[in-house]
Copies of this chain bind each other. A is one copy, B any other.
Amino acid sequence: MEQINNIEVGPCTESDYLQPFRVHYNQNGTKKSWDFMRTHDSVSVLIFNTTLHCFVLVKQFRPAVYMCEWERIKKQPPQSAEKSEEGASEAAAPESQEGQSVSEGESSSQWPPASAGVTYELCAGLVDKPDLSLEEIARQEVLEECGYDVPASKLKRITSYRSGVGVTGSKQTMFYAEVSDDNCVSAGGGEPREGELIEVVKIPLHEAMTFAYDERIPKTMGVIFSFIWFHNNMSPKYKISTNV
């Protein structure tokens, strides 16, 4: 269970990570402009462990998701807001995009439990090493985050698509990797140097479709899609017994 406390939030005037740009252009003769952000493309990997017949996902606390849930609680009537036993009270006062402001020093009951910010995701990473192929970058993420050492040549490309088309529009490429316990060389967990606190979780194959469609389990669409892709494309090989 994650322990999150001493939370402080405020506007961010200079960010190394989020840098808005504005583009002006004419579209079919109409003058338009759009604010966007530049980001890296990314790769994600559906990992299937053939020894244990389970999928290998990562689970981590996502501050952006947590803050979203904080917003949601603020909008609810007080009596229905969940109380937190973990959140701290040192809230600063961000202005929302709608212009309403939040008073300082909100009580700890305003902070949701840490679990509200934890999501299940595919092993994934940014394409930020120009010398490496997508497969090679995916291979590194599988090793660093999940502890499996598999050759890049064993990664099967599933498909690619656009994400965040309103804001970043980056390209995401999804791979499939079959691993066995013999490929497991470490516990994974990400790069501590980069401050990653990643938990590796295993989802048994026979529970995968129920997991995919259980909305109480916060997850990315990549998890849902890839489980169904596996169900449609790999099920004859692994005899999936679930009916979906």
Contact = CB atoms under 8 A, between A and B. Distances in A.
Contact of A96 (B26, B38, B68): B38
B3 A22 contact: no
Interface in A13-27: 13, 15-27
Contacts of A66: 23, 169
**Count of this chain's copies in the oligomeric assembly:** 2
A132 interface: no
A186 to B, nearest CB: 20
Secondary structure call for the A interface: mixed
A161 B2 CA distance: 21
A28 B12 contact: no
B11 A21 contact: yes
A2 B224 CA distance: 33
Contact of A167 (B4, B167, B220): B167
A164 interface: yes
Given A30-B197, A228-B228, A164 B162 contact: no
Give the interface residue-count category, chain A: 35 or more
Interface stretch (A47-55, A57-65, A141-149, A200-208): A57-65
A236 interface: no
Contacts of A195: 30, 32
A121 B164 CA distance: 11
A22 to B, nearest CB: 4
Contacts of A169: 62-68, 117, 119
Nearest to A95: B19
A85 interface: no
B11 A29 contact: no
Contact of A221 (B166, B213, B225): B225
A10 B3 contact: no
Interface of A: 2-13, 15-32, 34-39, 41, 61-68, 71, 75, 94-97, 117, 119, 121, 130, 159-172, 195, 197, 212-213, 215, 218-225, 228-229, 231-233, 244
